[in-house]
Amino acid sequence: MATEKFELDAIVELFGHQRVAGRVSEQSIGVATFIRIDIPETDHQPGFSRLVHPNAIYAINPVTEEVMKEMANRIHQKPIESWDIREMQKKLLMLSEKNKSESEFIEEV
């Protein structure tokens, strides 16, 4: 018995009051199966993919490709931004210097 490939355009409602619009399919990693959502490129962001555990999904609402693309443009779902260690180090250094100057001020008073 051949299994049918699951793939459709949809608006996916996730727990936590989140909505994502994209091309929905299944993806297996090891023994686990995830729902893959390919969010298209929009006016606000490049296209990207998101893997979601099925238990995190409240509803999958099938729609046409046109509706999916319009909703992806309206929802403004962003990909995870890369973490930049240099930027974090700058912020920590600035915070450290601010705390040091405040401590010196308190000692003078």
Dump pLDDT digits (tens) for 64-94.
999 999 999 999 887 766 556 677 778 888 8
Say which residues have a Cβ less than 8 Å from residue 59's Cβ, sequence separation at least 6: 12, 13
Domain membership flag for residue 92: no
Residue 25 predicted with pLDDT over 90: yes
**Which secondary-structure segment (H or E) carries 37?**
strand 32-39
Q: Given its phi and psi angles, is residue 76 left (phi above 0), alpha (psi -120 to 50 degrees) or beta? A: left
pLDDT of residue 106: 62
CATH number of the domain where residue 52 is located? 2.30.30
- Domain of 35, in residue numbers: 7-82
Residue 37 contacts residue 20 (beta carbons within 8 Å) = yes
Mean pLDDT of the chain: 86
Domain membership flag for residue 42: yes
Domain membership flag for residue 68: yes
Residue 66 contacts residue 10 (beta carbons within 8 Å) = no
pLDDT of residue 109: 58
Domain membership flag for residue 65: yes
pLDDT of residue 86: 72
